[in-house]
Amino acid sequence: MKNNSSERIKYLTQSEATRLFDSIENSFDTHKTRNLAIFRIAYRCGLRASEISLLKFENYNNSKGELYCKRLKGSSNNTIRLDQKTKQILDSYIFETNITDESNFLFKSQKSKPISRQTLDYLMKKYCSLANISDKTKHHFHALKHTTAVHLAESDMDIKELQWWLGHKAISNTEIYFQFTTKQQERMYSKLNEKSEMV
């Protein structure tokens, strides 16, 4: 990802992300638990749609609450510990669907194939509309990965930690997300005010 592409990055604000998850949780969809698990895992781990479809039951360590993430496009695989709510939803989904075969894909379509990018984009559009997210350029599943990156940058995670979390091999791919956080700018100005060395 080149720095001159930064203007094209679309991500959800904290408020929009909350509304998105609420729209899934409050829906009457037949596959609500599956969809909530997908979206929470994608957000927690910063996964692309194609990486969600690759997840298998064997990638999930239930006892540790960890998910082994196979990343594409030259990114590095890693293991992410799920937050408690995401783990509970994933466990509920696994129990409901009775997944026992370790080689089984975690998230499947109605035809028992790995869920497709097209389906995930459709679901993203649907739930963004229900969440009243008016900017339609954010209605793409990949916006969740950007959202993860910006929110983690805002949470005071440093650039090397964020690089590992997202599986970036080149730190230049990670740097771009720190342009979107105002917290770092506020700290910068705070340091200047404390020093008062500038004329």
* Mean pLDDT within 173-198: 72
Residue 45 in this model has a pLDDT that exceeds 90: yes
Q: Please, what are the domains in the chain? A: 11-195 (1.10.443.10)
Per the prediction, the chain carries an average pLDDT of 90
| Burial degree of 111 (CB within 10 A; 0-12, 13-18, 19+) | exposed
Q: Are 146 and 17 in contact (CB under 8 A)?
A: no
- pLDDT over threshold 90, residue 1: no
Collapsed DSSP state (helix, strand, coil) of residue 63: coil
Give the pLDDT confidence of 46-93 residue by residue, as tens digits.
999 999 999 999 999 999 999 999 999 999 999 999 999 999 999 999
pTM for the whole structure: 0.88
- Which residue did the predictor score with more confidence, 12 or 9? 12
Separation CA 141–CA 143 (nearest Å): 5
- Ranking 20-24, 61-65, 89-93, 176-180 by mean pLDDT, the lowest is 176-180
Which DSSP string corresponds to 99-157?
Answer: ---TTSBSSB-TTSSBPPHHHHHHHHHHHHHHTT---GGG-STTHHHHHHHHHHHHTT-
- 165 vs 35: CA distance, rounded Å: 23
What percentage of the chain reaches a pLDDT higher than 90?
A: 75
- Residue 110 in tokens: 């109605």
Quick one: DSSP state of residue 74?
T
Give the burial class of 151: count Cβ atoms within 10 A of its Cβ; 0-12 exposed, 13-18 middle, 19 or more buried: buried
Contacts of residue 169, Cβ cutoff 8 Å, sequence gap at least 6? 74, 75, 76
